[in-house]
Amino acid sequence: MSSVTSPQPRQGEAPRSAGPRAISLRVHDWLARARAWIAILILAPFAVAALLAAPYAPAGSSVDFLIDAMAWLIFIAGGTFRWWATLYIGSRKQCVLVTHGPYSLCRNPLYVGTFLIVLSIAFFLQSATFAAGLVLASVIYLTTTVSIEEKNLRHHFGPSYDSYCREVPRFVPRFAGFRSPANVEVSIAGLGAEYRRMARWIWVPLLAEAVAHMKTDAWWSQLHQTWHIFW
């Protein structure tokens, strides 16, 4: 009785498609590699609209002062959350499962800190449009990024990570669950990497404040009027 074997691709011939699952995996891999650029492309038109829109509150008003204060508080909270998380996990993500400090509040404090830093731009520019774009871009970016990271962590730490996921929320901090040892080992390499990142995001409030100030100038008002004529 003869056996039937699946034909093998000849030398130099492209392998046959493995079906919908293979296509889905290739799409997922492509999204993973391009996720940052996709998020930027999604956010870009919202940023342009925010730049060309008139400020919500008149410059120098009490509402303007309150919104500006909120912007600074959100920015400082985001930067603080990033630094706090770096002290606990810097350069050790794949080596040890960190579950203390900010990682006892939520599983992704670095991403929460980054989100708050970028969210502060919406307050500096007084733009709900930019905030909406940020939420959309964040959903696209984090859906792909976090799923990949969680898969890797589950592979490395197994049931311990599953237990951690059941106890600690993914993004929204739960302060009642805070726990931390008295002493924490800090990675100098991790702090150095965060210093380099800080060199980029530390300019966020300064640039946003500069743009917000320019939006009160006469030439910017003319640009805003032209935008409304065409759109």
Read off the pLDDT of residues 27-52 as tens digits, 9 standing for 90 and up.
666 666 777 788 889 999 998 888 87
pLDDT in tens, 144-156: 889 888 988 999 9
pTM of the model as a whole: 0.80
pLDDT of residue 176: 94
**Alpha carbon distance 72, 67 (integer Å):** 9
pLDDT of residue 6: 46
**pLDDT band at 23; cut points 50, 70, 90:** low
Q: Which residues contact 197 (CB under 8 A, 6 or more apart)?
A: 82
Cα–Cα nearest to 78, from 194, 182, 191, 160: 194
CB half-sphere exposure, 203, CA atoms < 13 A: 6
The domain spans of the chain are 62-230
Angle separating helix axes 109-124 and 128-157, nearest 10 degrees: 170
**Alpha carbon distance 60, 87 (integer Å):** 39
**Contact present, 224 and 127 (Cβ < 8 Å):** no
Residue 50 buriedness (CB in 10 A; 0-12 / 13-18 / 19+): buried
pLDDT of residue 3: 45
pLDDT in tens, 179-211: 999 988 888 888 898 889 899 899 999 888 888
